Structure 1
């Protein structure tokens, strides 16, 4: 491993560690979202606690974190530090590191979100077509069920399944394995939500109705 790759890996973790919801809430509302709602430092809880505008901003920044982290591989490629064949594996590596940073952010006492938005940013960098299909799955499940957690889990599962069935042409085994590993990670980070879903206690998103704050 070269020094450049190591530095890029550290940068990927630091990018993922940016606690967007925490910093935004403290800067513009004077509150820590982790002390309200579900207690999660992610975009969903930001929507719930701070409203649509704040939630959208946090969501977009968290997606951007994953996208930038994955694209650090392109910078290394253009600098001649990695070969063309190493670009996708390096994108995967830096993207996963960023997701880990989002889950365990050094800037927020290692108490972060669930990594879905940052994961989406990474997939957008690696496979934009599949990312668009995953977004479509998320939206369809959200409209039909109004469960953010279920939508996130099924959208994540759709990625490796699309790779297995070759919906976008032949795909590498690396992307298939990567997809199932990330699905397992999302299931782990949503294990409490899964329990509530099974018990019928999971909160639904009030689509189409304005919530009072």
Structure 2
């Protein structure tokens, strides 16, 4: 089955999926939601980040949930689009194998890389002078699309940190690392791209949280409350 997945990877061009993922990732939903529905530029309030945590902290629960879901959708859309397209351009003998072959093709070829492209687009969107978010929600959406177990694991880790401590940044970083390990282990038999996705996405997200790491060390990091607003 690995050979089938790898043969499709060679036959199908990679760049269209990467471009699609990056372009989808660049949509600044935090900025759009803040301006259209709340009359605020989210970059001018709170931490100045366009992500879900800052939306929740400054605009309220509805805004936070909306931005979280929309940003996660970007990562999921990139993965699913690449996976389905690769399946349909696969040779007929691969398509006849059915769902199992589809799973093999998804995990062994370009879908993880398309998810990574969406994360990079979110973090470095050209529409905002390459100043985007931190990539956590988009990473979560891509992880769910690749392996729902990894997405659930992220949420559990995040809640386990945020509920008692209130540090969304710490929960996000730990959740990202846990998901990376889970993806790498669960998809290890079907190709290296799951490890590439996990390692590269974790590195990008940790880098985007470097200021948060400094504040955590100094004890000045902002806390996030999940109480209704």
Give your verdict on TM over 0.5. yes
Deviation at 1:36, TM superposition (A): 1.1
Deviation at 1:23, TM superposition (A): 1.0
Deviation at 1:34, TM superposition (A): 0.5
Report the counterpart of residue 19 of structure 1 in structure 2.
28
**TM-score where L is the length of structure 1:** 0.87
More moved, 172-181 vs 7-16? 172-181
Aligned-residue Cα RMSD (Å) equals 2.5
Structure 2 residue runs without a partner (length 5+): 1-9, 95-100
Pairing 1:173-212 to 2, within 5 Å after superposition: 174=192, 175-208=194-227
Q: 1:203/1:112 Cα in 2 relative to 1: closer, same or farther (>3 Å)? A: same
Pairing 1:30-41 to 2, within 5 Å after superposition: 30-41=39-50
Deviation at 1:204, TM superposition (A): 1.0
Distance in 1 (alpha carbons) for counterparts of 2:127 and 2:162: 31
More moved, 8-17 vs 185-194? 8-17
More moved, 174-183 vs 131-140? 174-183
Deviation at 1:201, TM superposition (A): 0.4
Structure 1 residue runs without a partner (length 5+): none
**TM-score where L is the length of structure 2:** 0.81
- Of the three residues 61, 74, 77, the one matched with 1:68 is 77
Report the counterpart of residue 7 of structure 2 in structure 1.
none
- Of the three residues 131, 143, 147, the one matched with 1:123 is 143
Pairing 1:124-163 to 2, within 5 Å after superposition: 124-162=144-182
Distance in 1 (alpha carbons) for counterparts of 2:176 and 2:158: 9
Report the counterpart of residue 60 of structure 2 in structure 1.
51
Deviation at 1:171, TM superposition (A): 5.1
Deviation at 1:9, TM superposition (A): 2.3
Q: 1:123/1:60 Cα in 2 relative to 1: closer, same or farther (>3 Å)? A: same
Distance in 1 (alpha carbons) for counterparts of 2:80 and 2:14: 12
Q: 1:193/1:50 Cα in 2 relative to 1: closer, same or farther (>3 Å)? A: same
Q: 1:3/1:160 Cα in 2 relative to 1: closer, same or farther (>3 Å)? A: closer
| 2:28 is the counterpart of 1:8 | no
Once the two structures are superposed, residues 87-132 of structure 1 have per-residue CA deviations (whole angstroms, 9 ceiling, x without a partner) of 3231111101100110111333322110000000000111111221
Whether the 8 Å contact between 1:163 and 1:171 is mirrored in structure 2 is no
Distance in 2 (alpha carbons) for counterparts of 1:76 and 1:169: 20
More moved, 176-185 vs 38-47? 176-185
Q: What is the SS of the residue equivalent to 2:222? A: coil
